[in-house]
Structure 1
Amino acid sequence: MARYRYRAYRADGRVVADVVAAGSESDAVRELMTQGLTPFEISDAAASGSAAGGRGGKLPARVLSGFCRNLASMLAGGLPLDEALKLLAEDPEDRSGARLAANLRSGVLSGQSLAEAMASLKAPPPDYVIGLVRAGEEGGSTVPVLNRLSVSIENEMRLTEAIRGALIYPVILLITSLISVGVILLVVAPALEPVLAASSTGAPASAEVLMVASRWLRGSWPVLLIAPLVICLLAMSWSRTGSGRRWLSGFALKLPVIGPLVRDMESARCLASLSALLENGVSLVPAMEIAGQGARNPLVKDALDRVAGEVRVGVRLSDAIAADGFLPAVAAQLAAVGERSADMAGQLGQAATLLETRSQRRISTLTTIAAPVMTLMLGVLIGGIVLTLLSAIMSVNDLAV
């Protein structure tokens, strides 16, 4: 089922902005009218989300986390929502958070709830964030939900920063090695080429290969400089399309080591969102649809949609996850425990924690192994080039003697 963003009038004249799941746009209109709403604007959620991102850019996780934490503190202190948003909008030290608070306050003052105001932003947060806030408002637990969101987003930021930090050394090592090889091929090898050409016996075969590589690099360096930039730009444009995202997502999941890591990380994210939604009173099938919207990998979202479809017709969640086979087995196992103990939210949260811990352990192992392996491979490459040059120089000296 597709998801449609809409703006509609309530019976009391207030404007509502939200998302509805339906088979088509006409079905979405009929669904809204059965809820007593009069829609005046409706559009595909994926298309409108892309347009919103293009107009307002992506909402940084740091800004969203800080906003949730600060707003929760003010609401816990007894401030009304509009006054709390006003204070946050006047914060001179966090301009991004102040703009976010000001935009949300405008929506709240026009009669929208906090979740509705978030959905109306030019660059709205992920759907699972909006769903959690809405569930918190309806259940009277907005402060705990905002605190949970802040912690969840900060945990995700720490994991992302850990990955980036672990990649810094290998990237620096790779760049340094490429520069070293470039200097050898562009400066050292051309200086030796006339000497080797003057030799009556000729240069060693390995030196000839090196000189051919040097001549090819000197003649093709404009293409080698421009072509990667063009390829990167084309790849980035293609990756933003639906087919490009899906192909890249499938390719990443098929990689021997990276695939299981990506699956665990995305599954942990969605299960944590699902757990929080269930804990705040959202029923299982709608919670799965909302949690699936927060998945970066479209194949993970498809898996959650398939499982939600099975649950909708009466299949138990644990059986649906196990039969689908896409999500990690620990999700099905702990879902079964949750069904027996009537604590589905807690068990799914535990599954998310286990998957996140496993992902961090795998990342640590990969980064620990990657650095020495890259050092060894690049050392062998540069060492081989240097030895080739030395052998050519020694052959010329032997000839002179």
Structure 2
Amino acid sequence: MARFRYRAFQADGRVVSDVVSAISESEAVRDLMGQGLTPFEMTDAGSTAAARQGKPAGKQPPQVLAGFCRNLASMLAGGLPLDEALKLLADDPEDKRVSRLSNELRSGVLNGQSLADAMAGLRTPPADYVIGLIRAGEEGGSTVPVLNRLADSIDNELRLTEAVRGALIYPAILLLTAIISICIILLVVAPALEPVLETSGNETPAAAAWLMAASHGLRDTWPLLTISPLVIWLLAMSWSRTPAGRGSMSALAMRLPVIGLLIRDMESARCLTSLSALLENGVSLVPAMEIAGQGARNPLVRKALDRIADEVRVGVRLSDAIANDGFLPMTASQLAAVGERSGDMASQLAQASSILESRSRRRIATLTTLAGPVMTLALGVLIGGIVLTLLSAIMSVNDLAV
């Protein structure tokens, strides 16, 4: 009999941690659920835990997870046992990543683990809220709806992410084109014009003199200017992986005009979707908020959910706690109040998530519409100004009036 170290929520929302003996993790979870506890973290207290600590960190790609959840839900809805469904997915030659994921999970299931426990033991496990949601679905006998809900949620998140990336492609191409054009002017055109200006005997216009100075500066420091952005980017990426770095980067992003509100709405929609699904599958409010908060990518959103959960734990209504905290959008508080009156909190939070996703898409569309023309105008003015400066220098050589 193995020993498992666990952390779980009591009925009043308090967190307890201890060690339990059971044949398998799934058996340990069932024992704890029978005692009125809701486990959200389970690790082997023996050698298996030590082995797991050596696994590389990572997260399951969302595209793979969405496809896996949808395919597995279809097979389970058709009456296939879990191990047979995983075997069919593992034998699929068309999607190697889903096949590899299914094979790993099937090994755990055949060893007596539940699907949630097998996911938690993966080398690249999914987010905590995914594991918690599947565990709640298994305990409540609603694995198929949970998997479909997860697939829909991940697909919505992917659509928002792709919309953001698509919005950045055109401005990025414009910026890159402008940088290349300016470098060609300063490194090729300006040096060719400089001897003509020096031998003309006329006074060089101030704008042309500034342009030549910029050309000299770029030619003298181009190695530093080429390497420095790469070094800064590598340092920033390394720093952003630390807790302090993630917090600072998140705080900076949230302070940006328009972008900050967009990030807040997208992260809030994601957490509300997870919270709604957990509530729908029988998880009580405070534990569901804790699990949903663990899946938040933005540390500020995670802290906000923790603060709200602390208020709910002492008896404050969810709608009031959200309104008092002031971080999450007011839409969440308003629909939470509707859910408290109607007794259907899960569907109202899902509706709040849908509203925030729609608002995020509209903002992304607006930014996409405005970014192209604004950047085109700004870069056109910049490059046009440089070209006019060169023309004024050429005309000064020929004693032309400008």
> TM over 0.5: same fold?
yes
1:81 matched to which residue of 2?
Answer: 82
TM-score under structure 1 length normalisation: 0.89
Counterpart-to-counterpart distance in 2, 1:36 and 1:108: 16
Alignment of 1:180-259 (within 5 A): 180-259=181-260
Counterpart-to-counterpart distance in 2, 1:37 and 1:170: 47
**1:348 Cα deviation (Å)?**
0.6
Contact 1:338-1:344 within 8 A present in 2 as well: yes
**1:42 Cα deviation (Å)?**
10
**1:16 Cα deviation (Å)?**
4.9
2:12 matched to which residue of 1?
Answer: none
Equivalent position amino acid for 1:289 in 2: E
**1:116 Cα deviation (Å)?**
0.6
Equivalent position amino acid for 1:292 in 2: G
Contact 2:62-2:154 within 8 A present in 1 as well: yes
Counterpart-to-counterpart distance in 1, 2:301 and 2:44: 34
1:40 matched to which residue of 2?
Answer: 46
2:166 matched to which residue of 1?
Answer: 165
Equivalent position amino acid for 1:40 in 2: G
Equivalent position amino acid for 1:71 in 2: L
Alignment of 1:313-392 (within 5 A): 313-392=314-393
1:398 matched to which residue of 2?
Answer: 399
Counterpart-to-counterpart distance in 1, 2:233 and 2:384: 30
Contact 1:307-1:321 within 8 A present in 2 as well: yes
Which secondary structure state, in structure 1, belongs to the residue aligned with residue 398 of structure 2? helix
Counterpart-to-counterpart distance in 1, 2:7 and 2:379: 51
Counterpart-to-counterpart distance in 2, 1:312 and 1:324: 14
**1:56 Cα deviation (Å)?**
5.6
Which secondary structure state, in structure 2, belongs to the residue aligned with residue 398 of structure 1? coil
Contact 1:9-1:16 within 8 A present in 2 as well: no
Which secondary structure state, in structure 1, belongs to the residue aligned with residue 46 of structure 2? strand
Stretches of 4+ aligned residues off by more than 4 angstroms = 3-10, 16-19, 35-38
2:24 matched to which residue of 1?
Answer: 14
1:27 matched to which residue of 2?
Answer: none
**1:255 Cα deviation (Å)?**
1.2
The C-alpha deviation readout for 1:188-239, integer Å capped at 9, x for no partner, is 0000000001121221110000000001000100000101000000000000
1:65 matched to which residue of 2?
Answer: 66
Equivalent position amino acid for 2:382 in 1: L
Question: Within the alignment, does 1:271 sit opposite 2:272 as a pair?
Answer: yes
Counterpart-to-counterpart distance in 2, 1:166 and 1:328: 23
**1:163 Cα deviation (Å)?**
1.2
Equivalent position amino acid for 2:138 in 1: E
Counterpart-to-counterpart distance in 1, 2:154 and 2:272: 14
Counterpart-to-counterpart distance in 2, 1:383 and 1:368: 23
From the superposition, tell whether residues 239 and 268 of structure 1 become closer, same or farther in structure 2 (CA, over 3 Å). Answer: same
Counterpart-to-counterpart distance in 2, 1:357 and 1:389: 48
Matched residue pairs, number? 379
The C-alpha deviation readout for 1:49-76, integer Å capped at 9, x for no partner, is xx75xx2643111100000011011111
Counterpart-to-counterpart distance in 1, 2:18 and 2:167: 44
Counterpart-to-counterpart distance in 1, 2:193 and 2:185: 11
1:23 matched to which residue of 2?
Answer: none
**1:39 Cα deviation (Å)?**
3.9
Counterpart-to-counterpart distance in 2, 1:369 and 1:18: 55
The C-alpha deviation readout for 1:322-379, integer Å capped at 9, x for no partner, is 1111111111111111000001001111111111111111111111111111000000
Counterpart-to-counterpart distance in 2, 1:290 and 1:41: 27
Equivalent position amino acid for 1:126 in 2: A
Contact 2:38-2:287 within 8 A present in 1 as well: no
**1:41 Cα deviation (Å)?**
7.0
Counterpart-to-counterpart distance in 2, 1:180 and 1:36: 57
